[in-house]
Amino acid sequence: MNKSQLDLIEDPEMRLAALRNKFIAHQTYESLRELFDRHVKRRRAAQRLNSAGEARGIVVIGAPGSGKTTVVTRLLEFYPDLVKPEVDVELAEVICLQIPSPATLKHVGTAMLQALGYPLRRDRPAAFIWDLVRHLLQQRGTLFVHLDEAQDLYTNKSQTARSDVVNTLKSLMNNRAWPVGLILSGTPELADLINSDHQLARRVDVINLDPVSWEADARNVQRTFGLFLKRSRLEAEESTLSDEFTRRLIHAGANEFGLIIEMMIAGIEEAVIDGEEVVRSRHFAKSFQRKSGCIPAFNPFLADDFWTIDPRVVLRNQTTLDVRAGR
């Protein structure tokens, strides 16, 4: 939805829905897009030369709430010429898959077959499944596979299972018949998988979604908040435009870009629900309390020592406060 279409929406709830769907591009996303553009051009050139070569991978790492899944999703939407899986269309140049639970190679391979349009009718060994996956990737012309929450393939696994995961990922990228580029997104534990094998590390480029900081990102956070206010047709209480409020907002979002955006929209939503035309700091305090179930002493929008509060912890109450005070 573009700006002119959003401006035509009168229903406040629909405007909120449009805000939730809005993607805010940032420097890390631009770096990812530039990197992926190189990968796409390499693969297209190899296709024209009818050369298999060796595919490479991209690893996107970020803490929970950093927006790593969103940036990859939006990245792939930016390339409409990359054919996504569709019914009755054989070509499927990009396959996206969230690592299933339990995160075993066999379950991942089975899910991959499902995404490729070949659901298994009966149980098969993992080796058979992955041979079939590689065959279907070639048959459907798949250039890239996105595996989200890829760290689950490696974390808390035996050494044998970890070796199998690494070898399987490498086999997809260096398959002589049809190499496939990988996009792996996940939490910082994903680095352990990459660092476990020098050959794998050599074949990937890494994008890290750094935490948001007051020093580096305050003005960008304030600009984004201003944009959301404008799009929601609401005014802002003066206190919510202050540096102090921005510090509290960044902390309440655990210094993660995706969570900060969620906090912005949640505060605006409280103002809409209250039928007000001005977004106030109390709306953000109310939305945080609703999310975490905390008492005011553990609300980053109310507490004097807000920087000592862990915003990811829920149900902070008087008992917690007494324990912290040693009573």
What is residue 318's predicted lDDT score, i.e. its pLDDT? Answer: 54
Q: For each of the chain's 327 residues, which pLDDT tens digit applies?
A: 555 555 545 677 888 888 888 888 888 999 999 999 999 999 999 888 887 678 999 999 999 999 999 999 999 999 989 999 887 889 999 999 999 888 999 999 999 999 998 888 888 999 999 999 999 999 999 999 999 999 999 999 999 999 999 999 999 999 989 999 999 999 999 999 999 999 999 999 999 999 999 999 999 999 999 999 998 889 999 999 999 999 999 999 999 999 999 999 999 999 999 999 999 999 999 999 999 999 999 999 999 999 999 999 987 775 655 555 565
pLDDT of 50: 81
Cis amide linkage into residue 102, ω under 30° from 0? yes
Q: What is the pTM (predicted TM-score) of this model?
A: 0.88
* Residue 10 confidence (pLDDT): 66
3-state secondary structure of 120: coil
Task: Report CA Rg, the chain.
Answer: 23
What is the rounded (10 degree) CA torsion for 254, 60, 106, 117? 110
Q: Do β-strands 235-236 and 278-279 pair in parallel, antiparallel, or remain unpaired?
A: parallel
| Spatial strand order in the sheet of 204-209 | 94-98, 144-148, 181-186, 57-62, 204-209
Close Cβ partners of 8 (under 8 Å, ≥ 6 residues apart): none
Give me the numbers of helices (H) and strands (E) for the chain, helices first please.
14, 7
Say what the pLDDT of residue 19 is: 83
Straight-line distance from the first to the last Cα atom of the chain, in angstroms, rounded to the nearest whole number: 54
Q: Based on the number of CB atoms within 10 Å of its own CB, is 13 exposed (0-12), middle (13-18) or buried (19 or more)?
A: exposed
H helices of the chain, in order, are: 3-7, 12-21, 27-48, 68-77, 105-115, 126-139, 159-173, 190-195, 198-202, 214-232, 243-252, 257-273, 281-292, 318-325
Q: Give the contacts of 28 (CB within 8 A, at least 6 positions apart).
A: 71, 207, 208, 209, 210
CA distance linking residue 199 with residue 54, whole number of Å: 12
Three-state SS for 208? strand
Write the CB contacts of 62 (distance below 8 Å, at least 6 apart in sequence). Answer: 68, 185, 187, 188, 208, 209, 256
